[in-house]
Structure 1
Amino acid sequence: MNAICLVAGGPRHLLPDTLEQGDDRNYVGVDEGVIYLLNRGITPSAAFGDFDSISKQDLNMLSSKNIDIHSFESEKDMTDLELAIHWALDQNPSEILLFGGTGGRLDHELINIQLLKLGLDRNVEMKIVDRNNQIFLKKPGAYTVAENQQYPYLSFLPTTQVVNGITLTGFKYPLTNTTLHWGSTLCISNELVTKKGTYSFDDGIIMVVRSKD
Structure 2
Amino acid sequence: MFAVIFANGILDPSAELDSLIDQAELIIAADGGANHCNRLGITPDILLGDLDSIDPPLLAAYQDKAIAIHRHPRHKDATDLELALDLAVEQGARAIRLIGALGGRWDMSLANIMLAASDKYKNQEILLSGQDCSMQILHPGRDCTLSGRPGQKVSLVPLKGDVHGVTLTGFAYPLTGQTILFGSSLGVSNIMHTDQATVQHREGILLCVLFSE
TM-score between the two structures when normalised by the length of structure 2 = 0.89
Q: Provide the residue aligned with 2:9 in structure 1.
A: 10
Distance 1:95-1:210 versus aligned 2 partners, 3 A rule: same
Q: Which runs of 5+ in 2 are unaligned?
A: none
Distance 1:208-1:113 versus aligned 2 partners, 3 A rule: same
Aligned residues: 212
Q: Provide the residue aligned with 1:81 in structure 2.
A: 81
**1:168-207 matches, cutoff 5 A:** 168-207=168-207
In the alignment, residue 70 of structure 1 is paired with which amino acid?
Answer: H
Aligned-partner Cα distance in 1 for 2:9–2:171: 33
Q: For residues 35-82 of structure 1, what are the alpha-carbon distances to aligned partners after superposition, in whole Å with 9 as ceiling and x for unaligned?
A: 211222111000111111234323212211231101111111101110
Of 9-18 and 72-81, deviating more is 9-18
Of 167-176 and 117-126, deviating more is 117-126
Q: Provide the residue aligned with 1:138 in structure 2.
A: 138
Whether the 8 Å contact between 1:166 and 1:178 is mirrored in structure 2 is: yes
Whether the 8 Å contact between 1:153 and 1:210 is mirrored in structure 2 is: yes
Distance 1:55-1:199 versus aligned 2 partners, 3 A rule: closer
Whether the 8 Å contact between 2:33 and 2:54 is mirrored in structure 1 is: no
What is the CA distance between 1:161 and its match in structure 2?
2.1
What is the CA distance between 1:119 and its match in structure 2?
7.0
**1:107-118 matches, cutoff 5 A:** 107-118=107-118
Distance 1:109-1:80 versus aligned 2 partners, 3 A rule: same
Whether the 8 Å contact between 1:142 and 1:198 is mirrored in structure 2 is: no
Distance 1:49-1:19 versus aligned 2 partners, 3 A rule: farther
Aligned-partner Cα distance in 1 for 2:9–2:46: 18
What is the CA distance between 1:186 and its match in structure 2?
0.9
Q: Provide the residue aligned with 2:64 in structure 1.
A: 64
Of 9-18 and 91-100, deviating more is 9-18
What is the CA distance between 1:142 and its match in structure 2?
5.4
Partner SS for 1:76 = coil
What is the CA distance between 1:125 and its match in structure 2?
0.7
Whether the 8 Å contact between 2:29 and 2:46 is mirrored in structure 1 is: yes
Distance 1:197-1:150 versus aligned 2 partners, 3 A rule: closer
Of 100-109 and 136-145, deviating more is 136-145
In the alignment, residue 112 of structure 1 is paired with which amino acid?
Answer: N
Whether the 8 Å contact between 1:120 and 1:139 is mirrored in structure 2 is: no
Q: For residues 105-154 of structure 1, what are the alpha-carbon distances to aligned partners after superposition, in whole Å with 9 as ceiling and x for unaligned?
A: 11111110011124774411111112311112222225242431499221
- Are residues 1:212 and 2:212 paired? yes
In the alignment, residue 160 of structure 1 is paired with which amino acid?
Answer: K
Task: Report % sequence identity.
Answer: 32
